[in-house]
Chains A and B, each alone.
Chain A
């Protein structure tokens, strides 16, 4: 038996192959239902599918069950540790990944995005930037996409200056912080100024690891480990810091772009595979990428750098980065990154659907238009936003297309004349309006004849893209049915 096994350095592999039975044998097996499930076996299944957590089972925390609780914790803990970075009021969880590929289960904890400020920024500029990061928000499928953290960098290398900047940022944002300096004295000044909370310390390196480790332990903060382009060094530092007693590490293998993208992408890929497939616990920590490095190069237009940074951020998000430090706040550069994150982190096990049925917008009356759409979340929220922006009071009939968009649903026979007729009947909308005019999506125009036959309603073919709905309603409907 080697020391590695004794120390439990290998995490259980292939999380998906964990069976409910393995989990069940450590549960109380009393079927007490305190977790909300009918019995312990059902709870075990939920645990294995990561749809429930151990804290839902109070009996597990009773005296005498410590060994079972520990065993379950070991069985269920993700190969990539979950690390929390927090301010006094907010916290961000990073890592906690169970799988390498999203189709193996799902990805947890969307890649967190930090935007940088530095301690030599004029006060006004600093505050404006901090405010901007906090306020940035985009509505997408009924959710608000936002940025997560602020990274305060010390460009002055001056303790007093860094402390002041950290204090100012802390007082003007609720977002958690990353403190960036390679000088332990400057870092400590920042930690002292910050007070309560757990900012991420960036970073321990081969040169300063001991002092940074002391700070991480003393201030109980997570610690980033940086070893650019040197994975032997990264692993050595992870081992050393773990032995030192630092429990929450974040690994930074270095981020490059200038023709050496392959090295960066490969390092991230190898690290994540080592953690999830090989079970190397020393590398089972969240990964940090710094797309902001593109701003170090000189002589290029800021647009070029913002473009490059967004591309780099996207590729690294796809290739396993759990945390990004970025610089550009250009809307066109940040928006695709936020949306890509949302896409990659969507649970592949869930059809992206909303409830079908009749929705009302404003206060519709018996003259108001009736529109049809599908229950694919993206379609529904897009259409809903456009209907709202038209300001017209109306009914929206959401057909159950099993979460497919209009085009796919028509092609796949999930949106048919029968389906529309059935939805129309079930909605009882004919009792609410006096007219018999139905507006169907432009991409479902081929169904119009058949819908008219089945329902006796007159069909108006709406626009191909729902952004045209306001104009369509204005021109075709006006204040009463055409």
Chain B
């Protein structure tokens, strides 16, 4: 079966390369005469006489070793602890620690992550437009954030609850800060997991709301979501500090802005109360920007960029903004009851591999899949290798 054209014989290449080499020393080579099969090919008559081509065909497998390409990283992500137990002055049954990584996400061949990423489920303090596949699971608790939170924890095993005080928006209900703080207290009583509390995005109103909320939940070490560059950062940081909470620093898809906000916060806060959110865009609607910024942030942090060494949060629920997630489409693309939740799931799994430590999610099936994936990714279990080839000849 010798091929006349283009034989990758070693001999001519070696000769070519040895033109300027005086001495040749062979390393890492073992040869047994039996391993070599020499095939000499007569040169074709029409061509000028060439060097005889030599083809060495291995008789048996040439054993090589694979060395895991491990690296060292000068940087480390800070650990942020959310939620306080009774002994710590709070009422949570446990705290949750996120961050602490010393290497890229799930490079288990170097080291497993010290803390698995956590998943929180979104709860809203008023009725908002929700996609049908999400709504059907919470229809009966839409007006009761405490009951909604309880379901998220008891039924869907959320690590945390993420309460969004949407109603405080001056353009919506303009709920007063005191009343919003009451809702937070109700949720704290309904569940014993750590909680995060979000505002409405109005920088002035949110500040007033967070002040009351922080005071009402003093000692619980909640995660305040979020502080932004267009807020009075100093004032916000003082609130976080005074009542002993943690905070998400939110910036719009820009590494420099993420650094800038962190720099501002460092004047008031210790590093280990800050989580960063560099914005999540939906699969199909800018996910690649979200993914690459998170990946770059995490790698830069590990390589020593001290302004980015924080756990990363993702508003994964944004996946539902993609029309493919909620719209009725041609039957070819299946029911949205599947399409919606898998949209959220794949958005989350993609960002999980970029370095996200804290997910805010919505659909129970998505939450369950991502939890399973996290468990599997940190387990370091190996597959059942012998059965792996069965797919080739199995009728599905």
Contacts and interface: CB of A to CB of B under 8 A. Distances in A.
Interface in A8-31: 8
Interface string B333-357: 1111011001101100110011000
Contacts of B395: 118, 120, 155
Nearest to B332: A331
Contact of B65 (A214, A235, A296): A235
A186 to B, nearest CB: 10
A270 B338 contact: no
- In the complex, which range does the number of interface residues on chain B fall in? 35 or more
A447 B381 CA distance: 56
Most B-side CB within 10 Å, residue of A228, A240, A332: A332
B25 A229 contact: no
Contacts of B3: 217-218, 245
A250 interface: no
Contacts of B41: none
Contacts of A269: 106-107, 109
Given A293-B391, A344-B288, A307 B382 contact: no
Interface residues of A, number: 105
B137 interface: no
A329 to B, nearest CB: 10
A232 B27 contact: no
B114 to A, nearest CB: 15
A296 B287 contact: no
Contact of A256 (B13, B14, B68, B383): B383
Contacts of A453: none
A457 interface: no
Interface stretch (A57-65, A260-268, A474-482): A260-268
A367 B391 CA distance: 62
Most A-side CB within 10 Å, residue of B55, B288, B295, B353: B288
Most A-side CB within 10 Å, residue of B28, B324, B376: B376
B50 interface: no
Interface string A240-252: 1001110100000
A437 to B, nearest CB: 25
B388 interface: yes
A244 B333 contact: no
A243 to B, nearest CB: 5
Interface stretch (B219-227, B278-286, B303-311): B278-286
A336 B343 contact: yes
Contacts of A226: 389
Contact of B373 (A120, A303, A311, A318): A311
B396 A327 contact: yes
Given A3-B27, A214-B1, A273-B69, A314 B388 contact: no
Contacts of A254: 383, 385, 388
A32 interface: no
A102 interface: yes
Contacts of B7: 245
B46 interface: no
14 contacts: A103-B292, A138-B333, A182-B389, A209-B61, A217-B1, A254-B385, A259-B381, A260-B382, A265-B377, A274-B66, A307-B342, A311-B345, A336-B343, A340-B346
Interface of B: 1, 3, 7-8, 10, 13-14, 17-18, 21, 24-29, 55-58, 60-69, 71, 106-109, 252-253, 283-288, 291-292, 295-296, 299, 323-324, 327, 331-336, 338-339, 342-343, 345-346, 349-350, 353-354, 365, 369, 373, 376-385, 387-396
What 9 pairs across the A-B complex have the smallest Cβ distances?
A332-B334, A256-B383, A228-B388, A331-B333, A231-B66, A261-B376, A260-B383, A2-B27, A229-B385
